[in-house]
Amino acid sequence: MEYLLLEKIDGIGVITINRPDALNAMNDRVVTEISTAVSNMIAVDSIGVIIITGSGEKAFVAGADIKAMQQMDADGALKFGKAGQNMTLVIENSPKPVIAAVNGFALGGGCEISLACHIRVASENAVFGQPEVLLGLIPGWGGTQRLPKIVGTGIANELITTGKQIAAEEAHKIGLANHVVPQDELMDTCKKIAQQILKNGPNAVAASLECINKSVGTSIVEGLNHEVKSFSRLFETGEAKEGLTAFVEKRPPIFRD
């Protein structure tokens, strides 16, 4: 990988986007590498949670690469847009929770990567925004679809049409960031959340994420139907049996070797 640093620490896969001279802005290559890295980590049994962050203390990701987009025609932009959307779908559909450790600017495509993650934790200096309209664009990697679902349509309308940037505290207030912590505590906070998740049944965690994903954009009846089938299917696994039995036997469950 040219632009990513990859680590595996105690069941957690950490992806650090590392293009500091462009504030981790994403060109074609970065997009492809992220899609590949997340897919690879999903396939590794010993990884249960993935954390995505940016290198340095200034930026998570300052957006899609504006210099590359400046050279694109509509066909090129369609290809670039689809590749970016595909990357966000790989993240969103991951059966392993993906946590965004937002360590600075999360603008445009950077904010959109965080929106596709299941949990967002921000450092105090983080800045979120969808400034595409300032460039005569719209968010092209899912921002128009996911932001309203996370913060509500009214606030998404304002953020996207003004293109304004908001500080971490405001992002927290509107539900965009789950937590705001000092920068030097960011990775530890994300790892603590990951460790809590790792204690739980991996099939149950994956099924929860899948049901939550399905709840968005489907009717409540469809969502409930899907949920109950998935709930009942878990009873066919040894995992549910172990979790239920462990509770009854007043001992911690053992879900992993």
Kindly state whether residue 141 participates in binding ligand CAA, applying the rule CB under 6 A.
Answer: yes
Stretch touching ligand CAA by CB under 6 A, among 17-25, 89-97, 117-125, 243-251? 17-25
Find the shortest distance in angstroms from Cβ 99 to ligand CAA.
21
Kindly state whether residue 23 participates in binding ligand CAA, applying the rule CB under 6 A.
Answer: yes
Kindly state whether residue 126 participates in binding ligand CAA, applying the rule CB under 6 A.
Answer: no
Kindly state whether residue 155 participates in binding ligand CAA, applying the rule CB under 6 A.
Answer: no
Stretch touching ligand CAA by CB under 6 A, among 9-17, 130-138, 184-192, 198-206? 130-138
Kindly state whether residue 25 participates in binding ligand CAA, applying the rule CB under 6 A.
Answer: yes
Kindly state whether residue 131 participates in binding ligand CAA, applying the rule CB under 6 A.
Answer: yes
Kindly state whether residue 54 participates in binding ligand CAA, applying the rule CB under 6 A.
Answer: no
Which residues participate in catalysis according to the annotation?
Answer: 112, 132
Kindly state whether residue 34 participates in binding ligand CAA, applying the rule CB under 6 A.
Answer: no
Among 83, 135, 234, 246, binds ligand CAA (CB under 6 A): 135
Stretch touching ligand CAA by CB under 6 A, among 30-38, 131-139, 187-195, 216-224? 131-139
How far is 56 from 60, CA to CA, in rounded Å? 8
Give contact residues for ligand CAA (rule: CB under 6 A).
22-23, 25, 62-67, 84, 105, 107-109, 112, 131-132, 135, 137, 139-141, 143
